[in-house]
Chain A
Amino acid sequence: MTYTIPESTLIAQGAEARLYKGTYLGKSVLIKERFEKNYRHPTLDTRLTKERIKAEARALVKAKSAGVATPTIYLVDYNRRSIFMEYIENSTTLKAFIDEHISKKNDVKDLIENIASALGKVVAQLHAVCIVHGDLTTSNILLKDSDKLLTSQPSSDVSDQFIAIDFGLAKTESTSEDAAVDLYVLERSLSSAHAELPDLFKIIYRSYQKHFKNNSRLKEIIAKYEDVKARGRKRTMVG
């Protein structure tokens, strides 16, 4: 594949990649480069990087067709370990938004309700088509025009401002058990990173169930989720 490497500037170093902003074919792009991790064996590093780029590209596309907003992919370049995708202008992570506008603030009950319900809906939409995200945290959800959320009416659906990103650990053909683990990972990440908002997951989970269309599969996921949780509590810890 030949193309001119666009000029770009480093905007962030995430959990496993460096993120650059540049222009490609006249569009503003985000280049996600899974740079070589020198701490891990090169063979393992190459294998994981390939797997993750592939998983991320697949899931971004599949999620979009299931109605979940994701950045559009422009180019996948395994040699440069990079995905070129649509740059989401004027966005912030859900984590940053909560830390700034919700934690330690008063009168945010309706806002919490709105964002948690939206997140529940997004996760349900993903799981309904058997996509599990694999790393559901508030760092991996972007909010577009987040200022508008501050003035949203109580009980309004704000999910059109939610953009799911970072699908490197995703599976596009997942089981109910995978979905249950996905929920459990989300729950735990909320209770550790947003400990000051203990109700967040409850609202998300309620909305998740409400938006899940396939009832028998939902029942299966709920049962598995209870199993996964119980296993977590039972684990012994010697030494």
Chain B
Amino acid sequence: MIAIGFEGSANKLGIGIIKDDEILSNVRHTYITPPGEGFLPRETAQHHREHILPILKKALSDAKLELKDVDVICYTKGPGMGAPLNVAALVARTVAQMFNKPIVAVNHCVGHIEMGRLITKSDNPIVLYVSGGNTQVIAYSQQRYRIFGETIDIAVGNCLDRFARLLNLSNDPSPGYNIEQLAKKGEKLATLPYVVKGMDVSFSGILSHAESQYEAWINEGYTKEDLCFTLQETVFAMLIEITERAMAHVGSKEVLIVGGVGCNERLQQMMGVMCEERGAKLYATDERFCIDNGVMIAVAGLLQFRADKCRGTPWTKTNVVQRFRTDDVYVSWRDD
């Protein structure tokens, strides 16, 4: 069966095509803002409108297919920013109507998880989902992806992005990537708040502390490299800690990292060390798959479609929603 996935919930616009478990194409275009600026809904939606048709054409030609060959259209229902979500949803609905194809509404977070499971062949891992808008520790139980821990304020990716803005770093290809490169050259660790509550974390205090200390740090001789290093060492340690706590609590021996921050090599390395210390196995993917993309939506959509006896989402429910929790989704396709 052939599925196409449309993703545009944040600043990445992606379309991907799969044939069963095989990836036929994966095309993405990212809206990049000038240094010091974040992306806003209106401009992001504008970006998506400009690029969605060329991306669709490329995804089809990479896959050597036409839309009539596709069996099911999948799109991101949420969570995300309303206006950008709507651009991808509108095109998905239009295509579905034009070619008389079933359509499936997909939860973005579940897309990350299912894609990660497919690529890494991990069976039932604890999932650390880290991106610009989400920070969650997830485990599957009884037809739902249950959220064991999460951020109680801002997401880790948002913390990294805003820290990059404070340092006036480039957003190309992404603020997180540039922090990672600078951090590799950092040596001196400054002191940042470290806030863990059970399996939850908090990052907003770190950010406000960094904002108020920034000049003092520079005067004390800390370089931008040192500060990026400090930020990564601190926030990633918090993430590893809550992941480990969840593993101990449920007795799990597998971890899967998904989401845009998940391609950070230092985060993967730290997680690998933790896993080794407790005899567990780490699964991670590279930037093609952990950063938002269309394939993940196709993967989760196809699972849902098949489990649902190929019925698809009723037309009246093919809207978008800005808030849509991972544990709101009934996982009909797993039988464990």
Contact = CB atoms under 8 A, between A and B. Distances in A.
B228 interface: no
Contacts, number: 125
B274 A239 contact: no
A195 B9 contact: no
Given A169-B196, A189-B198, A193-B148, A41 B245 contact: no
B43 to A, nearest CB: 14
Contact of B144 (A48, A137, A185, A195): A195
B200 interface: yes
A230 interface: no
Contacts of B80: 237-239
A39 B131 CA distance: 21
Contact of B148 (A182, A189, A238): A189
Contact of A239 (B134, B148, B149, B247): B134
Contacts of A231: 152
A165 to B, nearest CB: 13
Interface in A36-95: 37-41, 43-44, 48, 95
Contacts of B325: 237
B139 interface: yes
Nearest to B85: A238
A196 interface: yes
Given A40-B240, A189-B148, A232-B152, A169 B273 contact: no
Task: Kindly state the interface size class of chain A when it binds its partner.
Answer: 35 or more
A136 B241 CA distance: 16
B199 A185 contact: yes
B248 A14 contact: yes
Contact of A238 (B81, B198, B234): B81
A192 B139 contact: yes
A151 interface: no
A185 B246 CA distance: 13
B330 to A, nearest CB: 13
B278 A48 contact: no
B205 interface: no
A38 B277 contact: yes
Contacts of A44: 189, 194, 233-234, 237
Most buried by B among A15, A95, A137: A15
Given A137-B249, A237-B133, A169 B274 contact: no
Interface residues of B, number: 56
Contacts of B269: 39
A38 B199 CA distance: 20
B184 interface: no
A16 interface: yes
B22 to A, nearest CB: 27
Contact of B189 (A38, A41, A135, A182): A41
B312 interface: no
A137 B144 CA distance: 20
B244 A192 contact: no
Contacts of B249: 15, 95, 137, 139, 189, 193
A153 interface: no
Interface string A223-239: 00000100110011111
A95 B251 CA distance: 11
Given A134-B198, A189-B148, A239 B277 contact: no
A152 interface: no
Contacts of A169: 196-198
A158 B21 CA distance: 53
Most buried by B among A13, A38, A44, A192: A192
B244 A16 contact: yes
B131 A40 contact: no
B132 to A, nearest CB: 3
B132 A193 contact: no
Nearest to A136: B198
B42 interface: no
22 contacts: A37-B274, A41-B237, A95-B249, A137-B199, A185-B197, A185-B198, A185-B199, A189-B249, A192-B141, A192-B146, A192-B147, A193-B148, A196-B142, A228-B152, A232-B152, A236-B322, A238-B9, A238-B10, A238-B79, A239-B9, A239-B11, A239-B80
| Top 3 A-B residue pairs of the complex, sorted by shortest distance between their CB atoms | A239-B132, A239-B10, A239-B133
Given A15-B245, A135-B199, 12 more contacts: A44-B233, A44-B234, A134-B197, A136-B198, A169-B196, A181-B152, A192-B147, A193-B148, A237-B133, A237-B324, A237-B325, A238-B132
